[in-house]
Amino acid sequence: MTATTTAPSAAPEHPRPAVRPPSNRLRAWATRAPLLPALIFMVVVTQLPFVATLVISFFDWNALYPDARSFTGFANYGDVLSDPALRKSVWTTILLTVAVVLVSLVLGLALALLLDRRFKGRGVVRTLLIAPFLVVPVAAALLWKHVLYNPEYGLLNGLLHYVGGPQPDWISNTPLLAVEASLVWQWTPFMMLILLAGLQSRDQQQIEAARVDGAGDWQIFVHLTLPHLRRYLELGALLGSIYIVQNFDAVFTITSGGLGTANLPYTVYQSFYQAHENGLASAAGVLVVIGSIIIATFALRVVSSLFREEVGRA
């Protein structure tokens, strides 16, 4: 992917001249040493807590009754999967993630195509479009909750007032949609930026050649641009999913998980922070991880295809 990736850096077996090997073993450790602090740190801070979560998930453990802690095997998982509220939050998480990723990807593609053309003030428009992505997530959620959605003095109803439209209470009427709209607003710029980078890396000679051969704009888009963008679309979907599956800020701020908008991260947060059900929360947490692994398996395949290209090209 980097134009200038140099060959040897991507070919580990490549022997490096001009370095006298003291002894093979010592040398191997010398090359490994710079990696170790980061690796050890990551294992301790991310993997150990997860193992602990896994262990806790097999216990019946309410933090308010610490003495009543007992091993229950898979009972917590049974409870989580049979609890309608939790099952609903699984469904909410899927709906939220899929809707936000798809809509922001399509909108982002449209915007990237618009911004790929040259017009007056393109840089300014690009800056205007990026801004939503740069507002602190809690601040963005507050903005939507109070400044835009408020039924009495929000901007949405204010504008509707001018055209004599209805004055709905957005968050009460369509809570999940309200959360999704705010997230689409935040994530569309991100998708646009990735896809714009993809558009600008197209092979212009190929497009010119197609045009000379009489291909129209639409044909060029379908047969050249889309295939080229495919990887960028996948990358955007993947990164968007990773972040939106874990979304906490918008749900917490806009609806506080009410009205059927509680997603899994919010539910896990609530079941230990408010209900003090450590075992249940952990089981739910492990389920979130299993869901993420499913996404991640797909994701890593995509990223590694991007990556193979770099190695292959080098």
First-residue to last-residue Cα distance in the chain = 9
Please report, as a single letter, which amino acid is at residue 1: M
Q: How many CB atoms lie within 10 A of CB 39?
A: 10
Which CB, 99 or 181, lies closer to another protein? 181
Binding to another protein in span 73-132, by CB under 8 A: 111, 114-122, 124-132
| Residue 172 is a binding residue for another protein (CB under 8 A) | no
| Residue 252 is a binding residue for another protein (CB under 8 A) | yes
**Could you give the residue ranges of the DSSP H alpha helices within the chain?**
24-32, 36-42, 48-56, 75-82, 84-115, 122-134, 137-142, 155-162, 170-173, 175-199, 204-212, 217-220, 226-245, 249-250, 264-273, 278-313
Q: What is each CA distance from 168 to 60, 147, 178, in whole angstroms?
A: 44, 14, 12
| DSSP conformational letter for 66 | G
Q: How far is the CB of 238 from another protein (least distance, A)?
A: 9
Q: How many CB atoms lie within 10 A of CB 271?
A: 24
What CA dihedral angle connects 294, 296, 297 and 299, to 10 degrees?
130
Which CB, 38 or 68, lies closer to another protein? 38
> Which part of the chain contacts another protein (CB under 8 A), choosing from 73-81, 83-91, 98-106, 182-190?
182-190
| Residue 158 is a binding residue for another protein (CB under 8 A) | yes
Secondary structure of 204-262 in HEC code, one letter for each residue: HHHHHHHHHCCCCHHHHHHHHHHHHHHHHHHHHHHHHHHHHHCCCHHHHHHHCCCCCCC
- Sign, CA torsion 180/185/187/188: positive
Which CB, 28 or 222, lies closer to another protein? 28
Rule CB under 8 A: choose which of 183, 235, 237, 244 binds another protein: 235
Q: How far is the CB of 233 from another protein (least distance, A)?
A: 12
Rule CB under 8 A: choose which of 9, 70, 172, 173 binds another protein: 9
| Residue 72 is a binding residue for another protein (CB under 8 A) | no
| Residue 265 is a binding residue for another protein (CB under 8 A) | yes
Q: How far is the CB of 145 from another protein (least distance, A)?
A: 7
Rule CB under 8 A: choose which of 15, 22, 37, 84 binds another protein: 37
Which CB, 3 or 26, lies closer to another protein? 3
Map residue 276 onto helix, strand or coil.
coil
Rule CB under 8 A: choose which of 20, 64, 152, 227 binds another protein: 152
| Residue 203 is a binding residue for another protein (CB under 8 A) | yes
Rule CB under 8 A: choose which of 52, 102, 209, 226 binds another protein: 52
| Residue 50 is a binding residue for another protein (CB under 8 A) | yes
Q: How far is the CB of 162 from another protein (least distance, A)?
A: 6
CA distance 179 to 100: 9
Binding to another protein in span 273-302, by CB under 8 A: 273, 278, 281-282, 284-286, 288-289, 292-293, 295-296, 299-300
| Residue 6 is a binding residue for another protein (CB under 8 A) | yes
